[in-house]
Amino acid sequence: MVRVTIKGGVWRNTEDEILKAAVMKYGKNQWSRIASLLHRKSSKQCKARWFEWLDPSIKKTEWSRDEDEKLLHMAKLMPTQWRTIAPIVQRTAAQCLERYEYLLDQAQRRREGLDETVDDPRALRPGEIDPNPENKPARPDPIDMDEDELEMLSEARARLANTQGKKAKRKAREKQLEEARRLASLQKRRELRAAGIEVRRYFNRKRGVDYNAEIPFEKQPASGFYDTTIEIFDPEKIDFKRLHVDNRNLAAKEENEQRDRKKDNAKLKRKKDEDLPAVIMNENRLEPIKKRSKLVLPAPQISDMELEQVVKLGQATEIAKQQVSENGTIATETLLGDYNLTPDLNKIRTPQLPSTQDSVLNQAHNLNILSTVQTPLLGGSNTPLMDVSNEKARSAAGLIMSTPNTLFNTPYRTPVNATNEGTTPSIHGPSTDFNSGGISVRDRLNINTEEMLFDDQLKQREVKQQLRHHLSRLPKPKNDYEIVLPDTTDQTNDDDQMDTINIKDEDQADIDQRKLEEKRRKQQEHFKRQTQVVQRNLPRPNDINLTILRPANAEGPMTDLQKAEELIKQEMLVLLHYDALNNPVPNNSTSRNKDFSTYLDTHPREEFTDADLAAARALLESEMNVVKKTMSHGDLNLDSYSKVWDECYSQVLFLPSKNRFTRANAASKKDRIESAEHKLELNRNLMALEAKRAAKLEKKLKTLLGGYQSRGQALIKALNDVYDQIDQTHVEAKTFELLRQNEVLAIPKRIESFTEDVARQDERERELQRRYQELVEERNHLLEQQ
């Protein structure tokens, strides 16, 4: 199958770099030629990528508040005209549209009371394809690029590096065409030669006249009286070039190309003369570069010398106070006040500013409402809009309060006609002027009398305001009455009094603990009243079979035993429905809870007391003992129980066609086969499910424990090597031990043999010495005789 390549998709870093280099060489008009360098992108996509992302003049920073306000204002004046708004906001049209939709969504969420910090619903989810990949960042290049990308990169490098216009690929293509043309010409000559037509090869002609082969100005006379040149057929003069497809309409093709060329030149000239908006936009982009000025701070209000003097005065006062406290009397200590800390320092708080609203979100909210309003032809009241100008007017009028500055006010400028606690209180009462916030006068010795500060009228007004202030702090009346009867009994017992005190002053933790224990006790009692199946966590059926009861139209009367069995079945169904509703099986569907509730409404569950339950248990215990003695049943072990369980379970058979269980001896051969097939299918499904789960767990464990497994394999290999080395060493040790034992046994024999050899050698040497001495004596004796 032919490989189909669809142009588009996410832009990569390699494609962006090729596009930048191609724009630098070919300009911003030859997009078809630029797109020929990128195999996966069209000319339109290349142009969109440049003008929406790669252009250096595109602003990619975060949107400021001024830009948002300008965007909303221009969108209100010129709706849907994003290409006109884009140069005004100095952004691209796609950026303007995306930001406008984001602001509308933020306003919509704020109006609906939703969280504004949640993810953008327009963001791509995993698996989705981006419809506008041109205005997104490029994807990094992979380390191992495929062959197509490497070929594209090498071709682009070769074409862009050739600055003389001779493209390597075009030359190779022309060479291939020339070779194909030569082979076609050769095939054509062969076919003509096979048909009996001799075609002469064209040789290069010399410049001028070849006097050796031609006669200059020769004019041969015609043969005969009439001109018969038309009747002469020369097969060598057949012009096959005129029969080619490209040469049939050559004149018309040249005329069309010349006409299109003139039209393009005229269009280009007219665009240069009339394209004023582009010139204006280029002039607007040239913003003057502002030089950053130096940071000029005001002079400090308090110099370093003044601060040192204040510190020295504080230290002197502290030393004097310490001396008085050590050596002076109480009267002397009273005359000294504490001027270290500002009184009531914990009351100084920065006042809370009035709540303001976001003007950008308000404007987006208004635009969102205006975009969804009905036509005015329907009548009715206008859509209410949020006031945006009120906030600007309020800020211009100075109604927004600022943080108080306590350094520019004197103690006597502190107002005395307020009850607010926002600033430092004065000597006559709290202040409410946040803009003043004066420093309080710490007059502990009452040196400044009130007559020196205020007149009588001001004093009376201050006393009234203080009285109102204190009265306003009184708690509101509750109008709750409690009648306490006198205790007539005399409590003489001290233990009872202590118990009463303990009950009255009981700790809240003890109360909570007692409530928790009471709750646990009730839960345990409720759990004990549940069925034994729930208490023991035994398996329960997912479906309740209501057909176990005796049908109403059954023939013949029932015996007492059958009646008792029917009552037991009815009670069993009620308990099954109750447990399915109140104690459902984990991972079970709750769609049938309504059916269970309806059944319990018609067959309510009867509640029994503890005494009734105890009596029933005792009755069952006695009956079980009687049955055990009668039938000679002893204590069953696990093997006997498993055997009985298997026998009982083998007698039950599930019928898939009827979707119910029945006895195996009552089922036909067909039903048994269907039940076996159903059981086999269930086992296969279970096996497939378990295999899939095991494969998933194996994959997960392989991912989690892959490093440990490789490390374990390496350690096992090293351990095996150590084991082999130990075995080899053990064999060598055994070998050397056997050699040592052999040597131990052979050493005495060798010593004995060597000892015998030495003794024999000594004996021989003595014999030789003796023989030598005899010979010497014999020689001497012979010499003496001569």
With a cut of 70, say whether residue 341 has pLDDT above it.
no
Compare 317 and 244 and report the one with higher pLDDT.
Answer: 317
Over residues 408-437, the mean pLDDT reads 42
First to last CA, the chain: 133
Of 200-209, 400-409, 766-775, highest mean pLDDT = 766-775
pLDDT 10s digits, 50-89 = 999 999 999 999 999 999 999 999 999 999 899 999 999 9
**Which of 470-484, 569-583, 652-666 is predicted most confidently?**
569-583
pLDDT value at position 401? 47
Helix H or strand E encompassing 660: strand 660-663
pLDDT digits (tens, 9 = 90+) for 486-519: 555 555 555 555 554 444 567 888 888 889 999 9
Most confident range (mean pLDDT) of 118-122, 312-316, 425-429 is 312-316
Better-scored residue on pLDDT, 266 or 21: 21
From the number of C-beta atoms within 10 Å of its C-beta (0-12, 13-18, 19+), residue 659 rates as exposed
Question: pTM (2 decimals)?
Answer: 0.29
Q: Quick one: what percent of the chain has pLDDT higher than 70? A: 72
Q: What pLDDT, on a 0 to 100 scale, did the predictor assign at position 761?
A: 94
- pLDDT at position 688, please? 93
Which of residues 77 and 293 earns the better pLDDT score? Answer: 77
Mean pLDDT in the chain? 77
Q: Give yes or no for residue 106 having a pLDDT over 60.
A: yes
374 has a pLDDT exceeding 90: no
pLDDT at 429 over 80: no
Identify the pLDDT of residue 353: 47
Q: What is the pLDDT of residue 563?
A: 82
191-218: average pLDDT = 77
Each residue's pLDDT tens digit, 231-241:
776 666 666 66
**DSSP line for 430-468:** ----TTT-PPPP--SS--S-HHHH--HHHHHHHHHHHHH
**Closest among 92, 119, 93 to 106, alpha carbons compared:** 119
Q: What is the pLDDT of residue 16?
A: 94
* Rounded percentage of the chain residues whose pLDDT exceeds 90: 24
Contact 58, 52 (CB under 8 A): yes
Mean pLDDT lowest for which of 40-49, 112-121, 122-131, 232-241?
232-241
pLDDT band of residue 468 (cuts 50, 70, 90) is: confident
Least confident range from 29-38, 122-131, 745-754: namely: 122-131
In whole angstroms, give the CA distance from residue 323 to residue 671.
Answer: 112
pLDDT score of 772 more than 90: yes
The residues with which 654 forms a beta bridge, in sequence order, are: 661
Checking if the pLDDT of 93 tops 90, the result is yes
Which residue in this structure is represented by tokens 């399915």?
580
- Neighbouring C-beta atoms of residue 74, cutoff 10 Å: 19
Q: What region, left, alpha or beta, does residue 71 occupy, with left being phi > 0 and alpha being psi -120 to 50 degrees?
A: alpha
Write b or e for each residue in 466-494: b if 16 or more Cβ atoms lie within 10 A of its Cβ, otherwise e: eeeeeeeeeeeeeeeeeeeeeeeeeeeee
Q: Which residues contact 300 (CB under 8 A, 6 or more apart)?
A: none
Please give the pLDDT value at position 199: 72
Q: What is the mean pLDDT of residues 425-454?
A: 47
